[in-house]
Amino acid sequence: MRPPHIFLRRAKDYGLPIAMTFGVLLWEPLSRLEFCIPYLIFGMLFITFLKLKISQLQFNVWHIVLLSIQMIFAVGSYYLLLRSNPVLASGTMICFLAPCATASAVIIGMLGGSIAFSTPYVLLSHLVLAFTAPILFSTLGAADTTVDFWQTVWYIFKGVIPLVIFPLLAAQLLRYVTPGIHRKLANIPQAAFYLWIISLAIILAKTTKYAMLQPKENIHTEILLAMCGLLACAVQFIIGKLLGRKIMREPITMGQSLGQKNTTLAIWISLTYLNPLSSIAPASYIIWQNSLNSIQLWNAGRKADRSKQKNNQNNEAIG
């Protein structure tokens, strides 16, 4: 019989692709559980934040750099595609403009990145989007509808604050009030990851349901939008990793912060402000970013195995 840690490792390696497969194949029953997603995200962030101290959170200039990259690529891609296809232009723009995913800290933590860097960026990127998106869309002429400015700000805030601030405060409160319970919960292996794969299956089911409801006559444009989502995903992860490797020595943190997006919010913005069909691009982004996350977790697991094997061989040689 294999020891328990082997099964835990295998779950980490293959959990995301299995969850994605279940989400696509069982989309009808699983999509009915979408009301659970905020609670699952709250739980996984709470567990992740148990290992973080508020004193470690710091805003720095690289947050501004990442926001600038998002804005430049969002506006640039919009103007680049506008003449050929306005729908593709809008879909690609929102894939770049979307803020950092609220649950990005979970993957960053599992890959060995800096949660202290990513958490402030989640808050800052949502704050900037809340105030700039309505203005940007009206300036570019991309908006199809007129929505109250403060309505958008409130929608984004009410979706982000409970999911990021509340679990952070709850984790810190537990640290100081009941340190024993805090320590036990923080040491549960991969608890946040298990919550993540459950939520991912439901998110993929919701995405599949959304795609299935689209008119068949738009299939060609939908495929192009999905490819634009793939390109936007690849560009942001690559730029983030290159920037992190050369400047901060944090390729994982920078790559995930720039590349992992709050796609649910991006879809809502597309449906509210832009051509509704453009929401297919951020919907496809869910598949692309989580496929990449699966590969990264698998590679991280392989490296950990090789390192452990090498250490065992060295210990045997010394012995």
User: Does 130 map to a domain?
Assistant: yes
pLDDT digits (tens, 9 = 90+) for 103-117: 788 888 888 888 888
User: Does 222 map to a domain?
Assistant: yes
User: Does 169 map to a domain?
Assistant: yes
SS3 145: coil
- pLDDT mean over 76-90: 92
User: Does 61 map to a domain?
Assistant: yes
pLDDT digits (tens, 9 = 90+) for 121-180: 888 888 888 778 777 777 676 555 555 667 767 776 777 677 778 888 898 899 888 988
Burial of 61 by CB count in 10 Å (0-12 exposed, 13-18 middle, 19+ buried)? exposed
- pLDDT mean over 98-102: 87
User: Does 245 map to a domain?
Assistant: yes
d(CA 25, CA 47): 29
What domain range is 155 assigned to?
A: 33-196+218-312
Higher pLDDT, 77 or 147: 77
SS3 261: strand
- Helix 115-140 / helix 86-97 crossing angle, nearest 10 deg: 150
User: Does 2 map to a domain?
Assistant: no
CATH number, domain at 55?
1.20.1530.20
Quick check: 312 pLDDT over 90? Answer: no
User: Does 26 map to a domain?
Assistant: no
pTM: 0.79
SS3 50: coil
Quick check: 308 pLDDT over 70? Answer: no
User: Does 206 map to a domain?
Assistant: no
Work out how many domains the chain is built from and give that number. 1
Quick check: 304 pLDDT over 80? Answer: no
